[in-house]
Amino acid sequence: MRVTFPQMAEVQILLETILHELGVETVSPPPINGETVELGVKYAPEFICYPFKMNLGNYLQALQRGADTVLMAGGCGPCRFGNYAEVQQEILRGLGYDVKFIILEPPRAGAPPFWRELLAFLGWRRMLKLPQALGFAWKKLNVLEEINRKVRWLQPREAQVGNALALYRRYRRLAAEASLVKDLALVRESFRQELAAVPRREGYRPLRILLAGEIYMVLEPNVNFHVEETLGRMDVEVHRAISISNWVKENLLRGLNRRAVQRQALRAEKYLRCFVGGHGRETVAEAVHAGVNGYDGMVQIMPFTCMPELVAQSILPEVGRDYRLPVMTLILDEHSGEAGVCTRLEAFVDLIRRGREKSA
Amino acid sequence: MVWPKVGKDWSKGGTDRLRIGIPRALLYHWYGKAWESFLLACGFTPVVSPPTGRRQVELGVRAAQDEICLPVKVFMGHVRYLAEVEKVDAVFVPHQIQVEKNRFICPKFMGLPDMVRAVLPRGMPMLLWLNDRQRHLWSVQAVDGQIRRKLPKEKIRRALSLARQVASERWTELAQAAGSQNQGLQIGVIAHPYCLYDGHLSMDLLGRLRAADVQVLTPEMTPDRWLQAKIPGLNKPLFWTLGRRIMAAALYYAEQGVDGVIHLAAFGCGPESVVGELVARRLQEHGIPLLGLNLDEHTGEAGFATRLEAFLDLVTRRKSCCG
């Protein structure tokens, strides 16, 4: 059994860590590239959202490299993500691949419960090792996200351009390769020291922009044209509340985080009264958060035809008006070009910067 | 909360009855008649916007976000028409999250009132009709709090039971066979009700088919037995009410041995992109020709008619030579 999974930011490192700890062989798809896009677009339904197409491209590339099992999450609506695996499965079988899907469905979806699926996949021996593997992967994820967060803070402030990104690439690799908890702690410690040693422009206050939107498009740098790095290069401090760890906390450990979920709902309530699937309500809540905390702007990223984000997009102008918060929406799919996205981001940042200079 | 209240002291009745606008869009095509009679029985004057025309489309396209699907844009157009042309006192906005247990309509339906508020003139009140997990269709809880607080419960109950009756009449009407009953072509149409029954959006597809002497099957004619049955090949039930109906209808058509299926969908419709793919694969297994038609505000009538004609020709020829 050679297992593959979709590419999405830190998910690859996370799943590889877990599966290796359990002794399952994995075949990671290559990072999203032109071929992924081409394959995905060719075989996916025309009007499906972009993440679906990328997933499909990932699977096809991994299947060509010898994978035979796909690990994927499910859902119970109303967002299309909940039906991804079902359709992807039919498409791959239609193309003649003998592929097994392991779909981890939430309990309410009306499918066999996920633990039964997991048990059939892992067997009892590995199942017993699962908690330990999960714990280690969770620690690794936290280190990876800390690296990302701190580099985003450093990038606009560094005295010499390029230090922060070099640091990011090196430590991300080190963290990904760490195979012991002890190593992880070492990586974290030495990252913190090196970060503190990078020379900075003193007293510089960069623009603060909040990134929100559909989780896949926000997190996967290869489909959003490295939006965080690009903004960082424009001397902007990028914040985002969306991350894999937050998703796990809010969706998988909902019982432990009821407070956080309620807080989100409360923030958005004035503008959007009910859950709309995906990250629609979270986007509106983030906009309110950005407005209240005096961010300089917000960028919403979503794939073309994303339903929950479209609802949020319709409401964001109102939030923006109330809090005087500039909001830009980037709708991306296979037809988006890097130059176009960069130009729009530059124009947006220029606009905000000019506004700030005028009011100062 | 900035939801404006419905003005005037309307609970006292009298000649000065409130005019409530009902947009003739989205699920109006299923429940509209019932909402009308409900509001009438409650003592309002329901004002239904005229059938979709160029004017509503234009108003809606201007007000809504670019990427939203046409039916929602048209809904916004009807709302604006009611507010700006008809000058109604309040707009009736259905907020239908679930009309069946554990099945959603679409995320855009869930955010509908909030999206409508963004296009309404400031201060124009809305009367909601909320259906979700707890508030079932035609239950007292579905009625807007402003009505529930001011009218006696008994009156609302009576109005609701009247509405339920009208709704079931509408269902029988929709479920009756449309088109000619002769032994000509039999074509199944799969589409959401707000695409299919809106003559302007669907370019009068049903009328065109009838004029071509075709016997038409619609999702509303699918027997309940089929709607409840498990869909073969899927691990779990589909979680969209309309998507599930379409899926079941397609399987029913295949079983009935229709000569062809037409899939009418709005451009950018989320659920349809998934369901359409599943349907296409199953119809291919049965060897039934499928025509996919996508609608948006740029759809031209000539192109639409040509594609439809070509498809009907193809199906006719296929039938005559393959039996």
> Do residue A77 and residue B236 have CB atoms under 8 angstroms apart?
no
* Cβ contacts of A271 on chain B, cutoff 8 Å: 114
CB within 8 Å of chain A, chain B residues 257-276: 267-274, 276
Q: What is the mean pLDDT of chain A?
A: 91
Would the pLDDT of B95 be above 60?
Answer: yes
Choose among A74, A275, A315: nearest Cβ to B115: A315
- Single-letter amino acid code for the residue at B134: Q
Task: Give the pLDDT confidence score for residue A255 in this predicted structure.
Answer: 65
CATH class of A2-111: alpha beta
A–B CB contacts, 8 A cutoff, strictly below: 130
- The chain A residue lying nearest B98, using CA atoms, is A78
Q: Which of B274, B299, B266 is nearest to B68 (CA)?
A: B266
* Cβ contacts of A312 on chain B, cutoff 8 Å: 111
Would the pLDDT of B323 be above 80?
Answer: no
How many angstroms from the chain centroid is the CA of residue A49? 15
- The chain A residue lying nearest B110, using CA atoms, is A276
| pLDDT 10s digits, B108-141 | 999 999 999 888 888 788 999 999 888 888 999 9
Task: Give the pLDDT confidence score for residue B15 in this predicted structure.
Answer: 46
A268 to chain B, minimum CA–CA distance in Å? 11
More confident residue, A233 or B178: A233
pLDDT band at B160 (very low <50, low <70, confident <90, very high): very high
Taking residues B37-48, report their average pLDDT: 91
More confident residue, B230 or A36: A36
Task: Give the pLDDT confidence score for residue B13 in this predicted structure.
Answer: 53
Q: How far apart are CA B200 and CA A105, in angstroms?
A: 41
Task: Say which CATH architecture domain A207-360 belongs to.
Answer: 3-Layer(aba) Sandwich (3.40)
Question: How large is the ipTM?
Answer: 0.89
Domains A2-111 and A207-360 agree in fold: yes
Could you please report the per-residue DSSP string of A89-127? HHHHHHTT---EEEEE--GGGSSS-HHHHHHHHHHHHHH
Task: Give the pLDDT confidence score for residue B1 in this predicted structure.
Answer: 35
* Cβ contacts of B126 on chain A, cutoff 8 Å: none
> Do residue B234 and residue A78 have CB atoms under 8 angstroms apart?
no
Q: How far apart are CA B251 and CA A253, in angstroms?
A: 39
Q: Torsion angle of alpha carbons A21, A22, A28, A31, nearest 10°?
A: -40
| pLDDT 10s digits, A65-94 | 999 999 998 888 788 998 999 999 999 999
Domain boundaries, chain A: 2-111, 207-360
B273 to chain A, minimum CA–CA distance in Å? 5
Would the pLDDT of A170 be above 90?
Answer: yes
The alpha helices in chain A, defined as continuous H runs, are 11-22, 34-43, 50-64, 84-94, 114-154, 163-177, 181-197, 215-219, 227-233, 244-247, 258-268, 280-292, 307-323, 338-359
B167 to chain A, minimum CA–CA distance in Å? 26
| pLDDT 10s digits, A94-104 | 999 999 999 88
> Do residue B111 and residue A280 have CB atoms under 8 angstroms apart?
yes
Contacts of B9 (CB under 8 A, 6+ apart): none
B14 to chain A, minimum CA–CA distance in Å? 34
- Single-letter amino acid code for the residue at A21: E
The whole-model pTM stands at 0.92
pLDDT band at B53 (very low <50, low <70, confident <90, very high): very high
pLDDT band at B205 (very low <50, low <70, confident <90, very high): very high
pLDDT band at B161 (very low <50, low <70, confident <90, very high): very high
CB within 8 Å of chain A, chain B residues 55-94: 64-65, 67-68
pLDDT band at B2 (very low <50, low <70, confident <90, very high): very low
> Do residue B240 and residue A111 have CB atoms under 8 angstroms apart?
no
Task: Give the pLDDT confidence score for residue B149 in this predicted structure.
Answer: 86
Task: Give the pLDDT confidence score for residue B48 in this predicted structure.
Answer: 95
| pLDDT 10s digits, B272-293 | 999 999 999 999 999 999 999 9
Q: How far apart are CA A216 and CA A304, in angstroms?
A: 13
Q: What are phi and psi of A292, to 5 degrees?
A: -65, -40
> Do residue B102 and residue A110 have CB atoms under 8 angstroms apart?
yes
Choose among A77, A87, A105: nearest Cβ to B104: A77
Taking residues B245-273, report their average pLDDT: 92
Task: Give the pLDDT confidence score for residue A133 in this predicted structure.
Answer: 93
Task: Give the pLDDT confidence score for residue B16 in this predicted structure.
Answer: 59
Residue A51 and residue A107 in contact, taking contact as beta carbons nearer than 8 Å: no
Q: How far apart are CA B39 and CA B10, in angstroms?
A: 13
Quickly count: other Cβ atoms within 10 Å of residue B311's Cβ: 18
Task: Give the pLDDT confidence score for residue A206 in this predicted structure.
Answer: 93
B165 to chain A, minimum CA–CA distance in Å? 30
Q: Is the peptide bond before B237 cis (omega within 30 degrees of 0)?
A: no
Task: Give the pLDDT confidence score for residue B286 in this predicted structure.
Answer: 92
Task: Give the pLDDT confidence score for residue A218 in this predicted structure.
Answer: 95
Would the pLDDT of A4 be above 50?
Answer: yes
CB within 8 Å of chain A, chain B residues 135-194: none
* Cβ contacts of A79 on chain B, cutoff 8 Å: 107
Task: Give the pLDDT confidence score for residue A345 in this predicted structure.
Answer: 96
* Cβ contacts of A274 on chain B, cutoff 8 Å: 97, 110-111, 132
Q: What is the mean pLDDT of chain B?
A: 88
- Pairing mode, strands B186-191 and A69-73: unpaired
Task: Give the pLDDT confidence score for residue B11 in this predicted structure.
Answer: 53
Taking residues A197-204, report their average pLDDT: 91
Task: Give the pLDDT confidence score for residue A251 in this predicted structure.
Answer: 74
Domains assigned to chain B: 10-174 (3.40.50), 176-322 (3.40.50.11900)
* Cβ contacts of A332 on chain B, cutoff 8 Å: none
